[in-house]
Chains A and B, each alone.
Chain A
Amino acid sequence: MNNRSLFIVKIVAFTLMLAVIVWAGIEFYNHRNFTETVVLGDGVTTVKKLSDYYPGMKDNINDCNIYIFEGKEPGGTLMVIGGSHPEEPAANLTAELLVETAQVEVGRLIVAIRANRSASTVTRPGDAYPQYYSIPTPWGEKQYRMGDRWTNPLDSWPDPEVYVHYPSKQMLAYMDIRNFNRTWPGYANGSLTERTNFAFMELIRGENVDVFIDLHEAELEYPVISTIVAHQKGTNVAAMTSMMLNATEFRIGMEYSPESLHGLSHREVGDHSQAISYLVETPEPMLDRVRGVTDEHLLLTGKDPFVQKAGEYGLLYEKIGDDGWPIDVRVGRHTSTVLELAQSWSDLNWGKTIKISNVPRYAEIIENGVGYYFANPASVPSTRLAYE
């Protein structure tokens, strides 16, 4: 090849490379900086920041919004977090639904929609995950960031060879130092994720939270599914909730939090604060390893022929039918479980009642769709908007 041809090849290759970088870079940048708008329901009395409880989080990507609902009468305090694992969208959608609809009659409610905000700014291109998903509403589509299980490496890197959990010293997988549900109760001088957990613990202790609920979704290949995992301090409330939901709405189990498994919210929040802690799981077929095309359709419908085939052969820990596991069913399970846990807690703790109204339950969400309950941000004054 002569010099002139070689020069042309180099210029063309370099230009193509730059074009790909610019195109991909814009996609990545827009996803990382995409803002979700939240309409504050009438019940929200204050919006704080996580850094209000631990100044070390100030101006940090994980300095998320904390939505506080003061009840008309004093009582107990319930805290609900979504977005621990942002690839489990029913969790953050349920938390947002609470922020937009809940009215607190007795006690207090505290909600975080994006508990690990950094993890919601990165997704898994290697697993062909979609970058966004949209929920249909009466006024149009509302778009959300699809996230990952782990804190964005742009915000927290490098990972250690082995992650040694603080304070138990239990050895966990290296990348779990960026897993928000393996770093409880956190560490003030640790990684970004450990510091975020520490700030949440300061919040839980500072606001004297009685009941803490961490919302999740799980693959059907995983045995901890369709269940409430309860700290030993709260097994009576969880058992009653499970019985009530089984009798009236849907099948849900209850499991004990293993005492020697560290880093998870259902274990550490209960061990290191006055709160009793629960973790709630719904089925999400998109997380299953045997799934087929991984797109927004699968994320929202929960229907996948490969997962369904695995179900036919009895290889899963949860049933899956022709209807799959649509997002409305998964969010409905979460709202009913949160409301029932609050009710059961109140029944067993008379002086610390938590009474929440106006939040749609399982059957209503399936009938109307989750988007039905989201208000149009354009229809409310800017003072009633928050951004995630």
Chain B
Amino acid sequence: MTFLNILINASYYVLSAAVSLILIRNIIKTRDAQEAVLYCIILMPFLLRVFHIK
């Protein structure tokens, strides 16, 4: 059980990092200014989680 928890925890951080990268890619690629701002806002909690801050 403890091992499974560690595995899920690690997977979660990997997923958070992957979503962060996708969001950054979308910010670069989008042609819509409003979307770019939206992606920046969505990115915040993911980065805070990836860096183990919140």
- What is the interface of chain A, defined by CB distance below 8 A to chain B? 1, 5-6, 9-10, 13-14, 16-17, 20-21, 24-25, 28-29, 32, 154, 157-158, 189-191
Q: Which residue of B lies closest to A157 (CB)?
A: B9
User: Nearest Cβ distance between residue B54 and chain A, in whole angstroms?
Assistant: 5
**What A residues does B53 contact at CB under 8 A?**
25, 28-29, 32
User: Would A158 and B37 count as touching, CB distance under 8 A?
Assistant: no
A10 to B43, CA, bound (A): 13
Q: Is the CB of A9 within 8 A of B5?
A: no
**Smallest distance from the beta carbon of B29 to chain A beta carbons, Å?**
10
**Measured CA separation A276–B47 after assembly (Å):** 47
A24 x B27 contact (CB < 8 A): no
Tell which of B5, B9, B36 touches A10, judged by Cβ atoms closer than 8 Å: B36
Q: Classify the interface of chain A: helix, strand, loop or mixed.
A: helix
Q: Which 4 A-B pairs have the closest CB atoms?
A: A17-B40, A9-B33, A13-B40, A13-B37
CA distance A28 to B53 in the complex (A): 6
- The answer to whether B9 touches A21, judged by C-beta atoms less than 8 angstroms apart, is no
On whether the beta carbons of B2 and A24 are closer than 8 Å, the reply is no
Contact partner of A191 (CB less than 8 A), chosen from B5, B12, B52, is B5
A278 to B40 CA separation, bound complex (whole angstroms): 50
Contacting residues of chain B (14-31) with chain A, CB-CB under 8 angstroms? 27-28, 31
18 pairs from A and B in contact (CB 8 Å cutoff): A6-B31, A6-B33, A6-B36, A9-B33, A13-B36, A13-B37, A13-B40, A16-B40, A21-B44, A25-B48, A154-B52, A157-B12, A158-B5, A158-B9, A158-B12, A190-B1, A190-B2, A191-B5
Contacts of B5 in A (CB 8 A): 157-158, 191
CB-CB under 8 A for A9 and B41, given A24-B48, A25-B51, A158-B5: no
> A6 vs B35: C-alpha distance in the bound complex, in angstroms?
11
* Contact pick for A189, options B2, B27, B40, B47, CB 8 Å: B2
Other-chain residue from B12, B36, B37, B48 in contact with A21 (beta carbon distance below 8 A): B48
List the A side residues contacting B48 at CB < 8 Å: 21, 24-25, 28
